[in-house]
Amino acid sequence: MLTVALPAGVLTFLVAIAPPLPGSGARTGAPLLTRADGQPFRYLPDKGAYALDFDPRAVQIDLLEGWDREQEAYADRQALAFFSGPMYERHVDASGREITVPLGDIKLGDRIWRGRNRTAARQRAFVGVRRDGGVDFSFGELTSDRARQYDTFIGGLHSVYNDLERPPAAYRGAYSISMGQQIRYFLPRIRMVIGLRPDGRLEVLMSRDGLTLEQTRSLARQRGLRAAYLPDHASKSRFIIPGQKGFSAADANWISGGATSFVHGPYLLRLSRRSTPLQGSLLAGLAGRTAAEGCGNPFQCGQTLGGQLVDRALAGFNRLMEQGIEPIAQLIWAPRGPKDPLRASRKAPLREPPISADPLALRERQEQAANSPAITGVELEALGLPSDLPQPLVLPEGDMLPEEGGAEQQSSEVDPAAPGAAELAAPEPAVGPTAAALPGAPPPLPLPLP
């Protein structure tokens, strides 16, 4: 009897202390949508999330290449916003040089970056902006037909839900390979969401706290999104509004709970006004595409309920760690490194393990800094790293996408979500073009993150 009662009691306790789902109060089911009134871009933060929405007919998505360029992004008053791009992986060429490759395919105008891991590209989701300005949230890789259809294609994404289209059998997502990845899926690590509003506009939000899967789904549905995708993991989340929110050198790389880390990003998605707007209707592609909701059959309903229980239990376990175990541990040891004056009033986070997704060149510089007291952390941040994205394929409108060459780069048995999962021997690619020079005026004094 005890063998059954004890696990059930622990599960009940963890579910009971789990933080509430977004919108679980009086506003449940009330979408947070507001009329755009013709505004092509809006920045609408609230107490739960930093959020923006935009009309893709008037706002284009581009790429800011290069590592650790958050400060430049903040000072770029020609841009509307910057946020995290899709997941990426590290490859090693024949010369031993590391390069960054998006895990899925990216098409921005006539420039295309194709993922080398074609299995992963086919098994993920994408957001596509058609040449008439309509938006599709769908699944799969960039094909020749899609290259002709879409002005913008952001692949390699993970679907939280999609009420417009059921995922195909080939869809796997980011957390579907190993048990460890599936467990991470339920932990409160999610921060960034890209969603489709009922009016056809795109919404990007970054939660102020790490969310579990169920919390993310609840927040997106509360905001009225018809589909919600994840572009990255929590440790790479960036949301920058030039002139609105400052970042210190320590804030440039951060994760849930305000803990700084050494998670660096090789590029950001950049929003700016289109010189020539796309012509079309945002709502044309939404009519008649809603998939049937519900769990379908008792087996699916049981799976859904079980997943929600696991999610709530792990959220409760995380709350127990944060408020019960971590404060005691912080009395025993503190994190290494200099203290950030902007976070002096906050509790110091626990030590974090090394992040293996860092580029090799940066890890070497970190090791040099660790072995040389003369090199300070500020000097290390100032060194920076150039862009190491391969040169994009330029595909003029009307041209066919070249066929894939060579054999499959990586089988579906390997976890495509793991950073650096594939190390390929390939000819050294040319380095992609860097973004245009940004204004040199210094930004206002950085503000502490909430």
Rounded CA-CA distance 239/139 in Å is 25
- Mean pLDDT in consecutive groups of 10 residues from the start of the chain, 450 residues: 76 77 51 82 91 96 90 93 90 81 93 92 95 95 95 95 92 67 61 93 90 84 93 80 76 53 81 94 66 62 72 73 62 52 45 57 71 58 72 86 56 36 31 35 38
Rounded CA-CA distance 391/398 in Å is 21
User: What pLDDT score does 300 carry?
Assistant: 66
User: What pLDDT score does 403 carry?
Assistant: 74
Which has the closest alpha carbon to 437: 69, 85, 101, 80?
69
User: What pLDDT score does 254 carry?
Assistant: 54
Q: Say if 434 falls within a structural domain.
A: no
Which token pair is 221?
A: 């549905």
User: What pLDDT score does 414 carry?
Assistant: 34
Rounded CA-CA distance 33/317 in Å is 33
User: What pLDDT score does 390 carry?
Assistant: 87
User: What pLDDT score does 370 carry?
Assistant: 67
User: What pLDDT score does 152 carry?
Assistant: 97
Q: Say if 336 falls within a structural domain.
A: no
User: What pLDDT score does 96 carry?
Assistant: 78
Which has the closest alpha carbon to 432: 46, 64, 91, 152?
64
Q: Say if 446 falls within a structural domain.
A: no
Supply angle C-alpha 108, 158, 414, rounded to 5: 105
Q: Say if 329 falls within a structural domain.
A: no
Q: Whole-model pTM?
A: 0.74
Q: Say if 3 falls within a structural domain.
A: no
Longest dimension (CA), the chain: 71
Domain count, the chain: 1
User: What pLDDT score does 42 carry?
Assistant: 96
Non-local CB neighbours of 23 within 8 Å, separated by 6+ positions = 29, 30, 218, 219, 221, 222
User: What pLDDT score does 180 carry?
Assistant: 53
The residue ranges of DSSP E strands in 31-147, in sequence order, are: 41-43, 49-54, 59-65, 81-84, 88-92, 98-102, 106-108, 111-113, 125-130, 135-139
Domain ranges, residue 132:
42-292+345-401+412-425
Q: Say if 126 falls within a structural domain.
A: yes
Ramachandran sector of residue 200 (left: φ over 0; alpha: ψ -120 to 50; beta: rest): left
8 Å CB contact between 112 and 393: yes
